[in-house]
Structure 1
Amino acid sequence: MFANLSLFDGCIVLLYMGAVLAIGVYHSKSNRNVREFISANRTMPWLAVLGSIVATEVSAATFLATPGVGYAENMNYLQFGIGSLLARLLIAFVFVGAFYAVNSLTIYDYLSKRFGGGTRYTATAFFIVTRLLASAVRLMIAVTGISLILNAPFWICLSVFTLVAIIYSGSGGIKGIIWTDVLQAIIFISCGIVLVGYVGYAIGWAEIFEIGAEHGRFEVFRFQPESADSWAWLNESKFFWVAVMFGFLSTAAAFGTDQDMTQRILTCRDVKAARRSVILSGFISIPIAALFLFVGIALFAYYQVSGEATLPSSVLADGSREVIADKVFPHFIASELPNGLRGLLLVGVLAAAMSSLDSTMGALSSSALVDLYRPLLNKEISEQQGLIVSRVLVCTFGLILASIAYALKDAEGFLWLTFQIASVTYGALLGVFLLGTLTKRGSDRGNWIAMLTAAAICVTLLTLIKLEYLQLGWSWLILIGTTWTFGIGALWHEKAPGSKAPGQESVS
């Protein structure tokens, strides 16, 4: 156990662990009430929030799984970034103003004030279920990589990793999470740059570009469907227009309807600062994705030169072996890097994973407290009681995430699995938030009916797609869910708890 970790590597890892725990403990002193624990009283500098957004968005799915896409496929994934950048403009100039206008701790509280409790509870339930599953996949990705690098059992790595994240997230609140994310973003971006430099030095830059070009790894845009069938593009998530559409819808849903991302946006001092952090994050996320795709291409070139015999692989039905692309990067860290550099890259894996795990636990606990615990119990609790409940919820959700991650440890296609989980409920959530911010229509009962039926439709369609009974790309599910929820919800028109749509109020 831990055979791949030298004393020097271990010291680097312990130094990192000590730093994140210290940040959490330091900020625990400033959490005097629930509002500070959840929103930092909206006092965070926008640059720190920007760093936290980048760290949360990147996660282990980018650090470990994106190189797998670059290794096995190409750079088509960058097409999603175009739609993602456009979506941030929508979020910045429509959603953020609406959320700041009602001064809510969570975005689902906004739905309560706009429509009523039924919409709020449905959206909260969708968020909790989706976020638990999607973030458990991210956690599983990280721990899989860590266990491969350390040559240690999955469950031991999972237990230690989750415990550290629970301690600093539960103590430091959103302030501790954001400042830890800033540190972690710097670490894992630096690791990507260092790794590319190492491989380039080892085999030569010309070799990387020559091999990558020869095998089509540098293809970014795909303007033609692979099949000649006139409807084939419906089943191709990497076809340019489909990819841009999915990037737009998934980012709009993530930034506008998912408390995991919006919680940090709502810690900015004012609307202008929040908008700035959202928009600039789009310009940063594309080059980061390109960096880690290039890591995968560089590793592909490296193993074309040195041979793939030692790479993790699975046996196909015909007896041949196929490299497991998602495990190439951690295998390279464990077997090819020298001491010191291995420890640095291990810290990069830890940083990428913790940046998504800590924010998830914080968002789940804040939403469970504000949107379920308080309104359903229908009683006031003291600030001290609220802090205790928040920290208990952080611990509870951390344990649930770890349990789901353990159950998913043998899943394959990590990056796309994360997207497919979100596609079931993101459409319903985006539809109801668009209804609230862009129109004065909708009602509490109509909304939850529209959301539940939209999710049921998307689950059915995804099942048919996975069973190959339906030739439709899963990326269409968000569009279907959004259109259905918005259209059905708009059929109702009742006076909301607030007579004016918050999204249309002025923001001072």
Structure 2
Amino acid sequence: MTGLDQDMMQKNLTCRSLKEAQKNMFWFTIVLTFVNLIFLGLGVLLTEYAISTGIDAHKDALFPTIALQTKMGIGLGLVFILGLIAAAYSSADSALTSLTTSFSVDILKIEERYEVKKQNLLRKLIHVSFSVILILVIVSFEYLIKDDSVINKLFTFAGYTYGPLLGGLFSFGILTRLKVHHIATPFIAVASPFIAYILSWLALEMFGFEFGFFILLLNGAVTFIGLLTASLFTKN
């Protein structure tokens, strides 16, 4: 998923050529794999520590409970909390930058429609607006996730949002040379998550099968089939 979003793209903007950008993405992928393994290992160690010391905390409460309610001391607890805040700010910063840039340039096309002074004003207003929306989304998670963990819900939502990107647009563009009319593409991408949700609900009700994180594959397959069908009505 990281290789397809604007956050990853921005890491390649300083590369002087396509070859350098490809090299950057290749090595970044390797580094990111090891970083994820390290954090996965740290998570396992924290869980084992909680079990061995009798700490009764689960899911999202595990990290802050170990940081603040153990004998590690206030200093180490503050380091834990600062690290958590730093990680949150890092993710929020890149997300806000991506959302602001995409909405301003791709949707509103402010560089084509407005002068520089008004562009700056609009960017600031859009940035503040997305900040407020992000805060509301974070607060709403308290009521949406219920007894589930944030990361589980996050991957579930990502299955719906990244399905059209991974399974449809990316895979369809790489594996085929077929053309789809540009008007049909956004409708297919928007409709696919709803179709995938209905299919997953039917599978659960009729067969007792829950897709879980595999909703990403189902969503991508629906998008791919939709694009393939649309290509039959497009002159290639």
TM-score bin, normalised by smaller chain? 0.7 to 0.9
Aligned equivalents of 1:364 and 1:350: distance in 2?
21
Residues 285-334 of structure 1, C-alpha deviations (whole Å, 9 max, x = no match)? 233222222223323332333223xx34xxxxxxxxxxx23211111111
Q: Does 1:305 align with 2:52?
A: yes
- Amino acid of the residue matched to residue 435 of structure 1? F
Q: Does 1:453 align with 2:156?
A: no
Gaps of 5+ in 2: none
Aligned equivalents of 1:383 and 1:465: distance in 2?
53
Q: Does 1:264 align with 2:11?
A: yes
Q: Report the Cα offset of residue 381 of structure 1.
A: 1.2
Aligned equivalents of 1:342 and 1:466: distance in 2?
43
Alignment of 1:407-422 (within 5 A): 407-410=140-143, 411=145, 412-422=148-158
Question: Which one of the candidate residues 477, 481, 485 is aligned to 2:223?
Answer: 485
User: 1:435–1:486: 8 Å Cα contact kept in structure 2?
Assistant: yes
Q: Does 1:442 align with 2:176?
A: no
The equivalent residue for 1:255 is 3
Alignment of 1:220-259 (within 5 A): 251=1, 254-256=2-4, 258-259=5-6
Given the two structures, how large is their TM-score scaled by the length of structure 1? Answer: 0.41
Residues 113-156 of structure 1, C-alpha deviations (whole Å, 9 max, x = no match)? xxxxxxxxxxxxxxxxxxxxxxxxxxxxxxxxxxxxxxxxxxxx
- With over 3 angstroms needed to count, the CA separation of the structure-2 counterparts of 1:267 and 1:464, relative to structure 1, is farther
Q: Report the Cα offset of residue 469 of structure 1.
A: 6.1
**What SS does structure 1 have at the residue aligned with 2:95?**
helix
Residues 43-71 of structure 1, C-alpha deviations (whole Å, 9 max, x = no match)? xxxxxxxxxxxxxxxxxxxxxxxxxxxxx
Given the two structures, how large is their TM-score scaled by the length of structure 2? Answer: 0.82
Aligned equivalents of 1:293 and 1:432: distance in 2?
30
Q: Report the Cα offset of residue 434 of structure 1.
A: 3.6
Q: Report the Cα offset of residue 362 of structure 1.
A: 0.6
- Amino acid of the residue matched to residue 364 of structure 1? L
Question: Which one of the candidate residues 61, 64, 81 is aligned to 1:327?
Answer: 61
Aligned equivalents of 1:456 and 1:467: distance in 2?
17
- With over 3 angstroms needed to count, the CA separation of the structure-2 counterparts of 1:340 and 1:463, relative to structure 1, is same
- With over 3 angstroms needed to count, the CA separation of the structure-2 counterparts of 1:486 and 1:301, relative to structure 1, is closer
- With over 3 angstroms needed to count, the CA separation of the structure-2 counterparts of 1:255 and 1:462, relative to structure 1, is farther
**What SS does structure 1 have at the residue aligned with 2:121?**
helix
Aligned equivalents of 2:207 and 2:94: distance in 1?
37
Q: Which has the higher contact order (CA 8 A, sep 6+)?
A: 1
**What SS does structure 2 have at the residue aligned with 1:475?**
helix
Residues 247-285 of structure 1, C-alpha deviations (whole Å, 9 max, x = no match)? xxxx3xx422x3343333344333223222222222222
The equivalent residue for 1:315 is none
Q: Report the Cα offset of residue 395 of structure 1.
A: 1.2
User: 2:163–2:223: 8 Å Cα contact kept in structure 1?
Assistant: yes
Q: CA RMSD in A?
A: 2.8
User: 1:423–1:474: 8 Å Cα contact kept in structure 2?
Assistant: no
Q: Does 1:404 align with 2:152?
A: no
Q: Report the Cα offset of residue 405 of structure 1.
A: 0.8
The equivalent residue for 1:364 is 99
Q: Does 1:395 align with 2:128?
A: yes
Alignment of 1:20-419 (within 5 A): 251=1, 254-256=2-4, 258-308=5-55, 311-312=56-57, 324-336=58-70, 337-374=72-109, 380-410=113-143, 411=145, 412-419=148-155
User: 2:192–2:222: 8 Å Cα contact kept in structure 1?
Assistant: yes
- Amino acid of the residue matched to residue 474 of structure 1? G
User: 1:260–1:364: 8 Å Cα contact kept in structure 2?
Assistant: no
- With over 3 angstroms needed to count, the CA separation of the structure-2 counterparts of 1:403 and 1:487, relative to structure 1, is same
The equivalent residue for 2:160 is 424
Q: Report the Cα offset of residue 419 of structure 1.
A: 0.9
Residues 95-123 of structure 1, C-alpha deviations (whole Å, 9 max, x = no match)? xxxxxxxxxxxxxxxxxxxxxxxxxxxxx
Question: Which one of the candidate residues 451, 467, 474 is aligned to 2:212?
Answer: 474
- With over 3 angstroms needed to count, the CA separation of the structure-2 counterparts of 1:435 and 1:334, relative to structure 1, is same
Q: Report the Cα offset of residue 349 of structure 1.
A: 0.6
The equivalent residue for 1:160 is none
Q: Report the Cα offset of residue 340 of structure 1.
A: 2.7
Aligned equivalents of 2:102 and 2:225: distance in 1?
27
Q: Report the Cα offset of residue 477 of structure 1.
A: 2.4
Residues 201-238 of structure 1, C-alpha deviations (whole Å, 9 max, x = no match)? xxxxxxxxxxxxxxxxxxxxxxxxxxxxxxxxxxxxxx
The equivalent residue for 1:148 is none
- Amino acid of the residue matched to residue 325 of structure 1? K
User: 1:427–1:481: 8 Å Cα contact kept in structure 2?
Assistant: yes
